[in-house]
Amino acid sequence: MHEMSLCYSLLDTIAVYQRANMDKCVGLVHVKIGPLSGVEPDLLHQAFLTCRTHSIGDQAALQIHTSAIKVRCTLCGKHSRAVVNRIICASCGSWQTELIQGDEFVLQRIEFIPSEISTEPKERQYVR
């Protein structure tokens, strides 16, 4: 399960932005994951719940946005969607394709919240 080490990378990146918002707490973290990134959303979420306590705190929640795979065919030039184990052109069926989208693992944005509301019940503090 490499999601744990990737989660530490996520928390390290968040910590950089938290330094500029010392008077606030991390509320909601938006992450985008492509099907070809090699990152399993559910496992990343579990890792986040385990790791957040001693870094950004229990009030922090993770919202994962998944993206679709999009390719450009190098033969017919058309753009199309693909699925993870059939990365072929939907138009002409060629496997000679270039990936346009679908392998990203990106921290999109962080929502900071005032410190005084950071004591909400834990079960309301994350999003799936």
Partner 1 sequence: MCGNCGCETPRKIEKPIQQTTNVVEVHANLKSSNDTQAITNRALFDAHDVMVINLMSSPGSGKTRLLEETITALKSQYNMAVIEGDLETENDANRIRRHGVQAEQIATGQGCHLDANMVFKVLGKFNLEKLDVLFIENVGNLICPACFDLGQHLNVILLSVPEGDDKPEKYPVMFRAADVMLISKTDYLQFHDEFNVARAIQSFRKVGNNAPVIEVSSTQSNQLEAWFAYFIETINARDSRSLQERGA
Sites of contact with partner 1 (CB under 8 A): 1-2, 5-6, 9-10, 12-13, 17, 20-21, 24, 27-28, 31, 36-39, 59, 61, 63, 71, 82, 84-88, 95-97, 99, 104-114, 117, 120, 123-128
Distance CA 13, CA 41 (A): 18
Both tokens assigned to 42: 């559910």
Which is nearer to partner 1, 36 or 51 (by Cβ)?
36
Nearest approach in angstroms of CB 78 to partner 1 is 15
Distance CA 15, CA 33 (A): 20
Nearest approach in angstroms of CB 53 to partner 1 is 17
Which is nearer to partner 1, 66 or 86 (by Cβ)?
86
Distance CA 74, CA 21 (A): 46
Nearest approach in angstroms of CB 65 to partner 1 is 12
Both tokens assigned to 45: 């979420």
Which is nearer to partner 1, 28 or 51 (by Cβ)?
28
Both tokens assigned to 24: 């606030």
Which is nearer to partner 1, 53 or 122 (by Cβ)?
122
Nearest approach in angstroms of CB 68 to partner 1 is 15
Distance CA 46, CA 69 (A): 24
72-93 as b/e, with b when 16 or more CB fall inside 10 Å? ebeeeeeebebeeeebbbeeee
